[in-house]
Amino acid sequence: MANSLLKYYFFTCPSKYKSMSAQIISGKAIAEDMLNGIKSRISQRLSAGKRAPSLAVILVGGDPASSIYVRNKRLACEKVGINSIAYDLASDIKESELFALIQKLNEDDTIDGILVQSPLPPQIDEKLIIEHISASKDVDGFHPYNIGRLAVRQPTLRSCTPFGVIKMLNSANINIKGLDAVVVGVSNHVGRPMALELLLAGCTVTCCHRHTKDLQGNIARADLVVAAAGKAGLIKGDWIKPGAIVVDIGINRLDNGTICGDVDFETAKERAGWITPVPGGVGPMTVATLMENTLLAMELRGV
């Protein structure tokens, strides 16, 4: 059924679909396709006598979750043929030492992307570190220059998770233009650029955060919910408008070691039209978009 027709049914006759289970959007499968595409673009570059892109991945300290994220990013580099250069630094490194390393990487013409995994230890000001990375090598898309370009509808290097969400919805043939979207969470890295991406895509966007008075009411009115609060089970299934699209960015580690999102998946999938799982939803899209940004950063520098 055409996407527009599906939308018509979901948003005009929701009761008809009350017992219908949502379509699961497999970010994992979409990301896999993206990685294969990036791999062949890099192979073509190599055949044309050009070099492979290279990404400097900086990990400070041994935070277990950060180490897993960094490992996944390095594995993705290996898979697509990006040369990843590991900087595993001690947790007591001085801010000035990290500045010096970033400066060296900024000036190194063989480095196309620089990634500093967050969170950083308390002696290091993350905002200053991000601003110190050259905007043209900011493959995470966190630099105020790159966020600003997105805000003025001239995106260049776009924040990986929000842009990954847009790519995922596009790949699943879900047309979001004109939808009422609610983003839960307004962090600089995720929620805010997500709201800008949705605005750019033609949604009417509401941002909810920890001071929002009526989270449930806002979600109940939304055609598209994007959850990025980092609170397990914050969004209950029966808050979801029947047929709505639910994208769960949250990654929460429960005491029993399992990972879940911010949305109560089991109940939400009985009301939503489309929903992303955690794990296997947005996470792989973030990594694939990072790979694409690294290749793009290289191309934009004319290397």
- Binding residues for ligand NAD, rule: CB under 6 A, are 161, 184-187, 189-191, 208-210, 212, 215, 228-231, 234, 249-252, 282-283, 286
CB of 190 to ligand NAD, least distance (A): 4
Q: Tell me whether residue 138 is one of the annotated catalytic residues.
A: no
- The CA distance from 227 to 209, in Å, is 10
CB of 98 to ligand NAD, least distance (A): 20
Closer to ligand NAD at the Cβ: 243 or 261? Answer: 261
Torsions phi, psi for 158 (to 5 deg): -100, 145
Q: Count how many residues are written for the chain.
A: 303
CB of 3 to ligand NAD, least distance (A): 24
Contact call for residues 147 and 190 (beta carbons, < 8 A): no
Give me the catalytic one of 7, 112, 117, 223.
117
Q: Tell me whether residue 73 is one of the annotated catalytic residues.
A: yes
- Residues 255-288, buried b or exposed e (16+ Cβ, 10 A)? eeeeebbbbbbebbbbbbbbbbbbebbbbbbbbb
User: Nearest 5 degrees, angle CA 231-CA 235-CA 239?
Assistant: 170
Closer to ligand NAD at the Cβ: 106 or 118? Answer: 118
Closer to ligand NAD at the Cβ: 14 or 230? Answer: 230
CB of 155 to ligand NAD, least distance (A): 18
Which has the closest alpha carbon to 176: 60, 19, 295, 7? 7
Q: Tell me whether residue 63 is one of the annotated catalytic residues.
A: no
Annotated binding site for NADP(+): 185-187, 251
Annotated binding site: 185-187, 251
**Which residues are known to be catalytic?**
73, 117, 140
